[in-house]
Structure 1
Amino acid sequence: MNKILIALLSLLAVQLSYGKVYKVKSPEEFKSAAAAVAPGDEIVIANGNYSNWAVTINSNGTADKPIMIRAERKDKVVFSGEVRQSVFHVSGSYIQLKDLKFEDCRLFKGQGKDVVLIQLNASKNCRVTNCFFTKISVNSQFMPIVVISGDGDNNRVDHSRFISNKNNMDVQVRVAKETVPLHSLVDHNTFMDKDSVTWNGNNGGECVQIGQDPILLGNRYAYATVRDNRFIRCNGEPEVISNKASGNKYTNNYFEDCHGELVMRGGHECMVDSNRFKGGTGGIRVNGTGHTISNNNFKNLPIAIRLMYGMAKGKTDTGFYIAASDCVVKNNHINHCETGILLGGAKNADWTGKFDTKRYPSRTVQDIAPHNNELINNAITHTKSPVVQ
């Protein structure tokens, strides 16, 4: 009798450890489920093709019992068609979106509102995982498809695929004057076959963008990490990854045949470590102060590492570009490149008339050389010009 009682109690404990499952097949059913879910519950979206979704969830799971929003089967729940509102807007905590597919979505910019596929807004410990974004297009420049924004922290985009998307930014961590999401993690994703944007200026096609205004907001610390991602034939614009905030880490990413670079466009005190570059138009471009560029591997590139001229220097001057200074470039391996390390890219480049000097009170000529940078133990082989100044 005692053994039977113990078995029944154990079965009851197992059952209680699982939450409820809400199976939905429409935005209305999703909204009802989102209003009812508790920690450990699941919202399962039935297999099928969907359009005209715009749903929000502001619920709270726990670390042990997150709220799961997932496809009934991976890649069998497909969102497509015109998008004029955020498809999924998440602002709670410990919520996971998993196994969803977005294909042939056409995003149309809205007046005064975000139009994205997934937005984690002021969320905490939320996650987008194992999702697939392919053939996504936008009708306006500088539109991302997955956004982390607001005063949230510890949100994650991982193990997802971004394939053949056009004219858009793929993943954006939004750094604003009033709000900065902290400790965002973008990891183990694949970005592939991104054609050059058609916008004037060839701008607005980053795969990953951390921060948006390097001139006025580059000093904001986001502490984001971008690691273990693959970037294959990503040709959207000259910046495959664009850093425009401070205190971020870019580690163990792989770049192959990309027409663009990993770019410290703005910000300070970032770490760029153990990344690999094979083929393409460039490796790492550096503006700003206090960065560490270490243990990276470069092969078959025109220039592996560029330390750039600026219009200003340090953390307090306002400049459209900040000269690279007080950076440590160490233990990098550069092989079969035209130039290994360029100390002084964009020397005397004139930006007169190319940006708004009222909004950005900056000098317009890049005439401040990179300075106080250390080059330590870099191995440069089979390279025409190892170090150029």
Structure 2
Amino acid sequence: MVRTVPLLRRLGVLVAAGLAGLLAVCGGQLASSASTATGTTPRTLTVSSPGQLPVVLAQARPGDRLEVAAGVYGAGPIRVGRSGTAQAPITIAALGQVRFTGSGGLDLTGASHVVVQGFVFANDAGLTVPGGAAGNRITRNVFQGNPGNADLTVAASDTEVDHNTFENRTAVGVYLQVVGPGAHDMAQRVHVHHNYFFNHQYKGANGGESIRFGLSGRQHAVANGLIEDNLFDKADGDSEAISVKSTNNVVRYNTIVNSRGTISLRHGWNTLVEGNILIGGTTGIRFFGNNHVIINNIVEDTAGTPMEVGGGEVRDDTTSGTDHEAADHCLVAFNTLSGTGNIVWYESSKPFPPSDDTLADNILLGHGQPAATGIGTALHFTGNILFGAPAGTLPAGAYRTIDPRLVRDAHGLLRPTATSPAIGAATGSFPQATLDIDGQTRPAAKDVGADQYNVATPARPLTTADVGSTAP
């Protein structure tokens, strides 16, 4: 689905890009007499060979743009060693294809407010943004090196990761991992958007996520991360395409297609999962931990479980361990869920089944199998529409059985028709759902499912034209 970057950040990017274009000259000469906030004039510096890159980097100052000539950069890693400012970052940009191979790469230790743009990381170690390197942006790069742990590791706060392509991983490891300083902290306010995650083919039992946002030992750390507007295609590395293992995050407006991987809230509390589109494969949404809100998502045509409400080996984690924590006090509302098997799974085989969770105003489309399996304690239900399947473990009063009269739009998304009984039929108010999947305001009489009926349907699955290193 197409969304915009928050306005202030987008304006900052546009201003920086426009300034760089106006000041661009060859050979590092000054392009204008305008000064940055530091009192120096931004320059464009050219790098014509691998050996010249560390020399030019040593001269860089806030506002400078380094343009690196095409070639193979196999020796290194090259220490950046310089910092810009929030108003005047240092930009290191590839001209043509600049490939880091072997031991080559960039060392960002201590380098803050640096933009890394347009490189191909086919090297042994990928790229790391260390904990002290705050305020950096990693944009329009291609990661294809298959390094053992991760193609990109972010440990620093206020890092922006956007418009990159991650592709063709076959080894164990993840495309992008976000961690933090020390053993238990998380990087703050990391923004991951408009990236293309393609063809993750490790296919192991574990350790093959496309995004791993945290770790078991960091699950109680508040991250305030934002993962939005990314496309995942053939995310088959393991059962999790997006794996959240930290607290207080937002996962919204992403598209997952043809994938084994799910959106998984594996550890942590208080995450919002909103407006995502998941189609085909065995994908779905699964969650463990407390106080999550899962609203306005479409999961359709999956052979997996569209919605898994997790049970646990523990009720509430106190050790930052690897046990599953039961999903308690969570809201699943205004989603449109369809699949060939069970639609909702309350994972009750573990010692602690899910408890005090609400399933409200969802459309549940089955294909003959029981709509729900498993049980929980003190579960709440209201306003759900069920069609095409027996109820399974859904109790009487949790649903009404009626054809919701959905049709596929031009992009294959199931949407209500003008005569749908879902229109105006929601029975819960739920102030968490003020918008629908299209970003349209829901009135007081809300529709059941992800889509508030409107002849205009702006939301659609993301495509490769929207994301990745070559997208606008």
Where does residue 167 of structure 2 map in the other structure? 163
CA contact (8 A) 1:312 1:318 kept: no
Where does residue 137 of structure 1 map in the other structure? 146
> In 2, distance between residues paired with 1:383 and 1:183?
41
> In 2, distance between residues paired with 1:137 and 1:317?
33
Where does residue 100 of structure 2 map in the other structure? 79
Higher strand share: 1
> In 1, distance between residues paired with 2:248 and 2:219?
10
CA contact (8 A) 1:299 1:337 kept: no
Q: 1:335 aligns with which of 335, 338, 341?
A: 338
Where does residue 224 of structure 1 map in the other structure? 225
Question: In the alignment, residue 346 of structure 2 is paired with which amino acid?
Answer: L
Task: Give the alignment of 1:8-47 within 5 angstroms.
Answer: 14-17=32-35, 19-26=42-49, 28-47=51-70
Q: 1:128 aligns with which of 133, 138, 149?
A: 138
Specify every segment of 5 or more residues in structure 2 that has no aligned partner in the other structure, as ranges: 1-22, 24-29, 36-40, 375-472
The TM-score, its normalising length taken from structure 1, stands at: 0.80
Question: In the alignment, residue 231 of structure 2 is paired with which amino acid?
Answer: R
Task: Give the alignment of 1:117-266 within 5 angstroms.
Answer: 117-134=127-144, 136-138=145-147, 140=148, 143-149=149-155, 152-167=156-171, 168-175=173-180, 176-177=182-183, 179-197=185-203, 202-212=205-215, 214=216, 216-266=217-267
> In 2, distance between residues paired with 1:268 and 1:154?
21
> In 1, distance between residues paired with 2:150 and 2:319?
29
> In 2, distance between residues paired with 1:217 and 1:242?
13
1:144 Cα deviation from its structure 2 partner: 0.7
Structure 1 179/34 Cα, relative in aligned 2: closer, same or farther at 3 Å? Answer: farther
Question: In the alignment, residue 120 of structure 2 is paired with which amino acid?
Answer: K
> In 1, distance between residues paired with 2:81 and 2:95?
22
Which range is displaced more, 312-321 or 160-169?
312-321
Deviations 1:89-114 (A, max 9, x none): 253222101111123x3x2xxxxxxx
> In 1, distance between residues paired with 2:372 and 2:185?
40
**Residue 386, structure 1, aligned to residue 371, structure 2:** yes
Give every structure 1 segment of 4 or more consecutive aligned residues whose post-TM-superposition deviation is greater than 4 Å. 11-14, 25-28
> In 2, distance between residues paired with 1:211 and 1:318?
12
Where does residue 270 of structure 1 map in the other structure? 271
Deviations 1:103-151 (A, max 9, x none): 3x3x2xxxxxxx43343432222101011123x223x4xx0111111xx
CA contact (8 A) 2:306 2:339 kept: no
> In 2, distance between residues paired with 1:77 and 1:318?
41
> In 2, distance between residues paired with 1:50 and 1:58?
18
- 3-state SS of 1:36 partner: coil
1:26 Cα deviation from its structure 2 partner: 4.8
Where does residue 352 of structure 1 map in the other structure? none
1:292 Cα deviation from its structure 2 partner: 0.8
> In 2, distance between residues paired with 1:318 and 1:102?
33
- 3-state SS of 1:280 partner: coil
> In 2, distance between residues paired with 1:65 and 1:322?
44
CA contact (8 A) 2:218 2:320 kept: no
Task: Give the alignment of 1:247-326 within 5 angstroms.
Answer: 247-301=248-302, 302-316=304-318, 320-326=323-329
